[in-house]
Homo-oligomer: A and B are copies of this chain.
Amino acid sequence: MMAGLKDVAVAAGVSIRTVARALQGTGYVDSATRKRVVSKARELDYRPNLAARTLRTARSFEISVLAWSMEELHVNKIIGLEQTFRAAHYSVNVLFGVPDPGGSKELLDAIRQRRPAGVVILHAPENVMSALARGLNEEQIPAIGIDTQTPGLDSIRIDRQQGVYEAVLYLAGKGRQHIAYLGYQHDRSRLDGYHRALTQLGREPIMIAVDEAEQFRGGRSAGRRFATMKPHPDAVQAYTDDMALGFLAGLHEQNIAVPGEVALIGFNDNRAAALAAPPLTTVAQPSHEIGVAAAEGLLGKLSGARPPAHNWTRTLSTRLIVRESA
């Protein structure tokens, strides 16, 4: 059996209370006593019973992480989360996607029952997010979002705009003259970065608009049309790696050389980017770091520390990974 407070108390010849004080370092304990207690505790391999502690303090040491999908990019964030929380003696449990759309109620119930110390919410559709944020607020459960924009929910964000901006300047620095953007018209963040860079360079933007929801296919059909495009780009910044890889596939079918004829940069640094022919240069999200930052933010809240200026919301920078496609 695993040793409890009482076992240690008996072994050290003191009361339970003294053991508790000695172990958690709070209150006065004679230093000789403390030493004896600590050594006995170690010897018996004492571990607090978390269930008892949670029952007593009404405060669990679990963090629930809510993920609607488990796309590759989330994985490293979650690893960052888990490692940081574990180091702080919290354990993480991940709840994966609620299938039904009206299901935020059900999800909230699952969370409430688990009574987590805090919740991390990965990016999800806005309606789900706001319902959830409201619910957690009512329950007084501290929460932090990753890549969310919901009002009232602190969030760790990624500066996509700046990432694309820098990538485009990199392309220009390599001597590319006609730098196009491949992506959706309606999604602003990256597109704004592109426009900012082109304005600064004093060049005309070239938009290769994709309207297909499936990114690889959208990129691929754009790649197939490449030869007919006017003006003819010699560089392309894509919305994501998926789309860039589709584009690459389309170009490949047309025997257009990358980076010879066109340089290509993706976004996200999916694993597939490194495995492409040629390996894709791309703008990487600092996924692991994002997870760590979110965990730190939530731990800050839990510790009751005074929030910093931006209320725990932070924006992290991307990093350009140069491979062979540009």
A interface residues (Cβ-Cβ under 8 A, vs B): 2, 47-52, 54-55, 60, 62, 70, 72, 75-76, 78-79, 82-83, 86, 91-96, 109-110, 112-115, 216, 241-242, 245-246, 248-249, 252-253, 270-272, 274-279
In the complex the two chains form, is A50's CB within 8 Å of B114's CB? yes
Closest 5 CB pairs of A and B: A272-B272, A249-B277, A51-B54, A252-B277, A93-B93
CA distance A221 to B216 in the complex (A): 27
Contacts of A72 in B (CB 8 A): 72, 75, 271
Besides the contacts A82-B95, A276-B277, what 7 more A-B pairs have beta carbons closer than 8 Å? A2-B112, A78-B94, A93-B93, A246-B275, A249-B278, A249-B279, A271-B272
CA distance A72 to B82 in the complex (A): 17
Contacts of A94 in B (CB 8 A): 78, 82, 92-94
Closest to A83 in B: B96
In the complex the two chains form, is B277's CB within 8 Å of A253's CB? yes
Closest to A63 in B: B93
CA distance A34 to B242 in the complex (A): 56
CA distance A278 to B55 in the complex (A): 57
In the complex the two chains form, is B93's CB within 8 Å of A79's CB? no
In the complex the two chains form, is A274's CB within 8 Å of B70's CB? no
Q: A50-B113, A249-B278, A277-B252 are in contact. Are A79 and B86 (CB under 8 A)?
A: no
CA distance A95 to B82 in the complex (A): 7
Of the A-B pairs whose beta carbons lie under 8 Å apart in the complex, a sample of 27, sorted by A's number, is A2-B112, A47-B112, A48-B113, A49-B55, A52-B55, A55-B55, A62-B93, A70-B75, A70-B79, A72-B72, A75-B75, A82-B95, A86-B110, A91-B95, A92-B93, A93-B94, A245-B275, A245-B276, A248-B277, A249-B277, A249-B278, A252-B252, A270-B272, A270-B275, A271-B272, A272-B276, A275-B276
Contacts of A95 in B (CB 8 A): 82, 86, 91
